[in-house]
């Protein structure tokens, strides 16, 4: 008997994306550029985070027309975003047969207390986190892939680095704890003991962990990989730059050859202007996207 939507099948797709770049796209044309550049998947969006930030208003799930158009255009997996807690947007995305749902802080949250119960879906979910506790809570809700949040739409890597340091550093510290200390740790992390114990034993999260939010250059992507990411999401960084195809190709190559400085130097050369960007530290607290979700 064939079994559909098992955790192994859901997290398995993320396993296949490792070492790859997932790119935000808003048109069929952009999705073709992403695929040509070697993206392992695309995220179908109405507006990239930089535009959501600039234009304001409520950010929602993309119009199905847009998603279908992008699914038509490429053969790589197509992901799409639902608002935090908006399980009906997720139901619609599942009906559209997107390959992964991102329950994302980039969109305006629909629920201030509850994330989506992701176990009930056959489509896998990826969720953002700023620290280990958040990651483990999302896993307990059924997420099959994790990404650190960073600060989307800024082109500033500093928050992504902070979040990776928080997650990977905490995992390393967990490995040094005695069994009886894990109970207290689980309480403080506000996460299930079983998951805390698994992470302490294995030294990693039980699912693939990508980095997102602020990646704008090949060097940024390689930095994330050297810090321990399994792969990267690039949002505004590609299609807000002066030469998207060249930049997309360079970021893909940098993600594969992340520890080879000669290759990184070569692919970083002559890419034109990166996205202009915003200093994440200068954003007012209410302008931050990373604080959405808990």
Partner 1 sequence: MRDALRIGVLAVQGNFREHVAMLRRLRADVVEVRKPEQLEGLDGLVVPGGESTAIGRLVHVSGLEEPLARFEGPLLGTCAGMILFDRRHLGFLDVEVARNAYGRQVASFEANVDLAGEEPIRGVFIRAPRVEDVGTDVEVLGRLDDEPVLVRQGRVLAASFHPELTDDTRVHEKFLEIVREAVHVRA
- Say which of 10, 18, 66, 81 is annotated catalytic: 81
CB of 100 to partner 1, least distance (A): 7
Nearer to partner 1, 37 or 166 (CB): 37
Burial label, 207 (beta-carbon count in 10 A; 0-12, 13-18, 19+): buried
Check if the beta carbon of residue 251 is closer than 8 Å to that of residue 222: no
Measured distance CA(105)–CA(127) in Å, rounded: 9
- The answer to the question of residue 141 lying near partner 1 (CB under 8 A) is no
Question: Binders of partner 1 among 62-91, rule CB under 8 A?
Answer: 75-77
- The answer to the question of residue 124 lying near partner 1 (CB under 8 A) is yes
Tokens of 230: 């399994």
- The answer to the question of residue 19 lying near partner 1 (CB under 8 A) is yes
Nearer to partner 1, 97 or 194 (CB): 97
CB of 242 to partner 1, least distance (A): 21
CB of 249 to partner 1, least distance (A): 8
Measured distance CA(257)–CA(224) in Å, rounded: 12
Q: Quick one: which of 94, 141, 243, 287 contacts partner 1 (CB under 8 A)? A: 94
Stretch that binds partner 1, among 48-56, 211-219, 253-261, 281-289 (CB under 8 A): 253-261
- The answer to the question of residue 261 lying near partner 1 (CB under 8 A) is no
97: left (phi over 0), alpha (psi -120 to 50) or beta: left
Diameter of the chain by CA atoms?
Answer: 56
- The answer to the question of residue 3 lying near partner 1 (CB under 8 A) is yes
- The answer to the question of residue 9 lying near partner 1 (CB under 8 A) is yes
Q: Give Cβ neighbours of residue 211 (< 8 Å, ≥ 6 apart).
A: 147, 148, 150, 160, 163, 164, 224, 227, 229, 231, 232, 233
- Alpha-carbon Rg for the chain, nearest whole angstrom, is 18
CB of 279 to partner 1, least distance (A): 33
Question: Binders of partner 1 among 25-44, rule CB under 8 A?
Answer: 35, 37-41
Please report how the helices 193-202 and 132-140 are oriented relative to each other, as an axis angle in degrees rounded to 10. Answer: 120
Residue spans of alpha helices (H) in 116-217: 132-140, 158-174, 179-189, 193-202
Q: Is 81 a catalytic residue?
A: yes
Stretch that binds partner 1, among 153-161, 195-203, 249-257, 278-286 (CB under 8 A): 249-257
CA dihedral (71, 76, 81, 86) positive or negative: positive
Number of residues near partner 1 (by CB under 8 A): 39
Q: Can you give the binding site for partner 1, defined by CB under 8 A?
A: 1-6, 8-9, 12-13, 15-20, 35, 37-41, 75-77, 94, 97-100, 122-124, 249, 252-253, 256-257, 260
Instruction: Give catalytic residue positions.
Output: 81
């Amino acid at each position: 008997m064939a079994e559909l939507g098992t955790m192994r099948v859901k997290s398995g797709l993320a396993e296949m994306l490792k070492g790859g770049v997932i790119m935000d796209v808003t048109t069929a044309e952009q999705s073709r550029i992403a695929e040509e550049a070697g993206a392992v998947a695309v995220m179908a969006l109405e507006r990239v985070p930089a535009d959501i930030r600039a234009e304001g208003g409520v950010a929602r799930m993309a119009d199905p027309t847009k998603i279908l158009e992008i699914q038509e255009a490429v053969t790589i997996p197509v992901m799409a975003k639902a608002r935090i807690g908006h399980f009906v947007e997720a139901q619609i995305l599942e009906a559209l047969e997107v390959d992964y749902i991102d329950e994302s802080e980039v969109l305006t949250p629909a629920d201030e207390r509850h994330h989506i119960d992701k176990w009930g879906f056959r489509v896998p979910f990826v969720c953002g986190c700023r620290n280990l506790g958040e990651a483990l809570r999302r896993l307990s809700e059924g997420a099959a892939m994790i990404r650190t949040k960073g600060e989307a739409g800024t082109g500033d890597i500093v928050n992504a680095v902070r979040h990776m340091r928080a997650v990977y550093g905490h995992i390393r510290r967990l490995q040094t704890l005695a069994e009886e200390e894990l109970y207290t740790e689980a309480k403080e992390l506000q996460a299930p003991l079983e998951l805390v114990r698994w992470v302490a034993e294995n030294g990693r999260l039980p699912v693939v962990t990508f980095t997102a939010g602020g990646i704008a250059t090949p060097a940024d992507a390689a930095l994330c990989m050297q810090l321990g990411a399994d792969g990267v999401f690039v949002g505004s960084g590609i299609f807000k730059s002066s030469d998207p195809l060249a930049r997309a190709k360079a970021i893909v190559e940098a993600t594969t050859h992340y520890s080879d400085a000669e290759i990184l130097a070569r692919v970083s050369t002559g890419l034109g202007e990166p996205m202009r960007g915003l200093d994440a530290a200068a954003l007012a607290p209410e302008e931050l996207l990373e604080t959405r979700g808990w």
